Amino acid sequence: MNPGDALRRVVFYPATAADLPALAELAGVIWRQHYPGIITPAQIDYMLGKMYALETLRAEMTGQGILFYRLLVDGKFSGFASVGPTETLGVMKLHKCYLLPELHGRGLGSRLLKHCEAEARRLGAQRLILAVNKRNTKAIAAYQRNGFALVQPVVTDFGNGFVMDDFLMAKDFSAGGA
Whole-number Å distance between alpha carbons of 101 and 104 = 5
Whole-number Å distance between alpha carbons of 178 and 173 = 7
- What pLDDT band is residue 5 in, cutting at 50, 70 and 90? very low
Whole-number Å distance between alpha carbons of 99 and 66 = 19
* pLDDT of the residue at 175: 55
- CA 112 to chain CA mean position, Å: 9
Q: Do you know the residue count of the chain? A: 178
Instruction: Give pLDDT tens digits for 154-164.
Output: 999 999 999 99
pLDDT at 1 over 70: no
Whole-number Å distance between alpha carbons of 7 and 176 = 26
pLDDT, mean of residues 142-157: 97
Query: pTM score, two decimals?
Result: 0.91
Higher-pLDDT residue of 13, 2: 13
Whole-number Å distance between alpha carbons of 122 and 67 = 13
- What pLDDT band is residue 8 in, cutting at 50, 70 and 90? low
* pLDDT of the residue at 2: 47
Instruction: Give pLDDT tens digits for 72-120.
Output: 999 999 999 999 999 999 999 999 999 999 999 999 999 999 999 999 9
The 3-state secondary structure of the chain, one letter per residue: CCHHHHHHCEEEEECCHHHHHHHHHHHHHHHHHHCECCECHHHHHHHHHHHCCHHHHHHHHHHCCCEEEEEEECCEEEEEEEEEECCCCCEEEEEEEEECHHHCCCCHHHHHHHHHHHHHHHCCCCEEEEEEECCCHHHHHHHHHCCCEEEEEEEEEEECCEEEEEEEEEEECCCCCC
* pLDDT of the residue at 174: 74
pLDDT at 136 over 90: yes
- How many Cα neighbours within 13 Å face the side chain of 140? 14
> Domains (ranges, CATH) in the chain?
3-172 (3.40.630.30)
Whole-number Å distance between alpha carbons of 89 and 110 = 25
- What pLDDT band is residue 6 in, cutting at 50, 70 and 90? very low
